[in-house]
Structure 1
Amino acid sequence: MIMIAWFRRRYLDLLGSIYIYNEHRGYTSIDRVLEAVRARAPDDHALIAAIEKHRADERKHYLMFKRWFELRGQMPLRIDRTCGHIDRFVEIMFCRTIDNLDTDRIIAEDAQFERLCRVISLTEQRGFRQVEILLRHPLVRHDKALIRIFQVIHRDEPSHWAPYDGWLRDHGKREPRWWERAVDGFIHSELLFLKLPALFLNPRLRRRDTWADAGEAAI
C-alpha cells in the first residue's frame, strides 16, 4: 500500500507539473498570436475576442493548477520546454523555438500565419482528447480536486481551436494534412512513452523555486 500511495502521488505530481508548465506556456505564447492578429486584422473583433478568451482560459487553468500545488504544500517539479507540446510542435514546424518566432514574418505572410493556426488547432484538439482520457484514469479519479480542474478544461477546450479553424475556413485555407497530424501524434507519443517514464524515475528531478508567473501582471 505504501508503494501504491507513493506511485500515485508521484504520478499526479508529475502530471500536474507538466500541465502547469503547458498552461503557462500556452497563455504566454498566445500573446504572440494576439500581436499578429491585431496587426493583420485590427477590425476582426470577433477573432480577436475569441483568441483573448483562449488566452484568459489558459491563464485560468494555470491558476487552478497553481492552487492545486499550493494546497499540496509543494512547488511544481522543474519541467522544461522538452515537455511542452506547443514548444515541440513549433520547433518542428518553424525550425525555431516559440521565443524566437519571427512575429513580423507571421504578420506579413499568410502561409506563416496559416501554419501557426494549424499548429495551435491540432495542439488544442490533442489536449481535449487527452483530458477525456485523464477524466477516466483511475489514478486521476482518486484526486477530486484534480478531476474538477480537468472538468473545467474539458468544458473550455472546444472553444480554443474554433477561432483558428474558423480563420482557416473563412480564408479558404486547407485543413491539416496527414503528416501534420503525424507530427502531433509523434510529439504526444514521445512525451507519453519516453519523457514521462524518464522523469518519473529521475531521482534528481528538482522542484521550482518560484512560480512561472512571478512578476507578471494579473491579466
Structure 2
Amino acid sequence: MGLQTAFRQRFLDVLGSIYIYNEHRGYTSLDRVLEAVRARCPDDHEFITAVEKHRADEHKHYRMFRRWFELRGVMPLKVDRACGHIDHFIESVFGCTIEDLDTEAIVTDPDAFEKLCRVIMITEQRGMDQVDVLLKNSHIRSDKALKKIFEVVEKDEPSHWQPYAAWLRAHGRRPKPRLREKWTDYWIHKSLMLAKLPAVFLNRNNPRLTTWPDEDPAAYTA
C-alpha cells in the first residue's frame, strides 16, 4: 500500500469514527431536548415536529455511517467526549455533561431554554459549514459511499438549526449568538480540527469499538 493510499484510508477512518460518535451523541442528546421542548411548548406542534425530525435525521445519519463501516469490514475507532462538539458546548454553557443536564430546570427557566436552543442552532450551523468543506475534499470525493452520506447530511442540515432560530425570534428571544458563544464555538472547532483529530489520526494504538453504541450504551465507555 502506497503512502498516499494509507493516508487516505486513515483519514477517512478517523473522520468516519468522529462523525459516527457525534451523530450518536446527537440523536441520543436530542431525546433530552425533546423532553424539554414538549414540556416547555406542549401546544407548539410545529416546533415539536421539527425537533422530532431533527432527532430522526441524526439517527438516520448514524445508521448510514454504521453501514459504511460495516461495508468496510471494520468497527469505528473508539473516541470519547474530547471529539464531541456538542459535549464541549454543553459543558461550557451549562457547566455539566449532557447526561447531567437538568431538563426540569431548563424548562422552568426561559433564559436557560433560550441558551439551549441557541447552542443547538450554533452547533448545527457549524456542522453545515463543515460539511460544505468536506464535500470539496478529494479524499471524501474519491469514496462514493461516504460522499453520498455527506450529501444527505448537507441536505438535512438547514432543517436542523432553522426551527430553533425561528422559535427564538417568534418568542422575542435572541437567535444571534452572543460573543462568548461564538468564541466558544470557534475554539471548540479549532481544537477538534487542530488537536483532537490529529491526535486520533497519529495514535495507531487507538482501539476500535467492540460493540455498536446503538446496541450497547456502554460502547464508548467500557
The one-letter code sitting in structure 2 at the alignment partner of 1:204 is: N
Moved more, 178-187 or 207-216: 207-216
Q: Scaled by the length of structure 2, what TM-score is found?
A: 0.95
For the residues of structure 2 that align with 1:59 and 1:203, how far apart are their CA atoms? 29
Q: C-alpha deviations, 1:150-186, integer Å up to 9, x for none?
A: 0000000000001110111011112212221111010
Equivalent residue, structure 2, for 1:137 = 137
- Is 1:212 matched up with 2:213? yes
The one-letter code sitting in structure 2 at the alignment partner of 1:130 is: Q
Give aligned-pair identity as a percent. Answer: 61
Query: CA RMSD, aligned part only?
Result: 1.0
For the residues of structure 2 that align with 1:81 and 1:41, how far apart are their CA atoms? 30
For the residues of structure 2 that align with 1:127 and 1:105, how far apart are their CA atoms? 27
The one-letter code sitting in structure 1 at the alignment partner of 2:209 is: R
Per the alignment, in what secondary structure is the counterpart of residue 75 of structure 2? coil
Moved more, 162-171 or 146-155: 162-171
For the residues of structure 2 that align with 1:76 and 1:197, how far apart are their CA atoms? 16
Q: C-alpha deviations, 1:16-58, integer Å up to 9, x for none?
A: 0000000010000000011011111111100000000000000
Equivalent residue, structure 1, for 2:51 = 51
Runs of 4+ that moved beyond 2 A: none
Equivalent residue, structure 2, for 1:200 = 201
Q: C-alpha deviations, 1:131-153, integer Å up to 9, x for none?
A: 00000001111111000000000
Equivalent residue, structure 2, for 1:149 = 149
For the residues of structure 2 that align with 1:215 and 1:127, how far apart are their CA atoms? 26
Matched ranges for 1:13-24 at <5 A? 13-24=13-24
Equivalent residue, structure 2, for 1:86 = 86
Matched ranges for 1:21-100 at <5 A? 21-100=21-100
Equivalent residue, structure 1, for 2:184 = 183
Equivalent residue, structure 2, for 1:171 = 171
For the residues of structure 2 that align with 1:65 and 1:98, how far apart are their CA atoms? 22
The one-letter code sitting in structure 2 at the alignment partner of 1:179 is: R
Matched ranges for 1:92-131 at <5 A? 92-131=92-131
Unaligned runs of 5+ in 2: 218-222
Per the alignment, in what secondary structure is the counterpart of residue 99 of structure 2? helix
The one-letter code sitting in structure 1 at the alignment partner of 2:6 is: W
Per the alignment, in what secondary structure is the counterpart of residue 98 of structure 1? coil
The one-letter code sitting in structure 1 at the alignment partner of 2:204 is: P
